[in-house]
Amino acid sequence: MMRHFLLGKIHRAVVTRADLDYIGSITIDPLLIEAAGFLENEKVDIYDVTNGSRISTYVIPGIPGSGEVGINGAAAHLVQKGDLVIIANYGWMTEAESETNAPKVVFVDDRNRITERRTQERTPVCMDAFGAV
């Protein structure tokens, strides 16, 4: 059975603009796109840490090195300039494939400059003193 698993995310980026009149999407600095393993036009989910809203859209590249994270189109009603967001992509894989999946996690500062890159390894199963899960 195919299941949906996290592939990568940009953690707590600052929205640099929200353009209601743009035709849709999220514009992201290509340095962040590459670091998180996103592809142009790929579907991403956006989780607004500031207000709790969640939306799905697709990625378009901005200007390299700009730190841009721009919310475009109708989503600008839900996500505003200055909001903190988590941007994530997911992929379908089998459970066996998921065992070697190591999502890329990109941490940024308040100007959306990369401060740290990690891979999110699978959490080992914890057992109690009797060996039960």
Catalytic annotation, residues: 25, 58
Tokens representing residue 102 in the block: 């190591």
Which uninterrupted H or E stretch holds 30?
helix 30-36
Please state, in angstroms and rounded to a whole number, the distance separating the CA atoms of residues 25 and 47.
14
Structure tokens at 9: 């995310």
Tokens of 66: 């700009």
Q: What are the φ/ψ torsions at residue 95 (nearest 5 degrees)?
A: -60, -40
Q: Give the whole-angstrom CA distance, residue 108 versus residue 114.
A: 4
In this structure, which amino acid lies at residue 100?
T
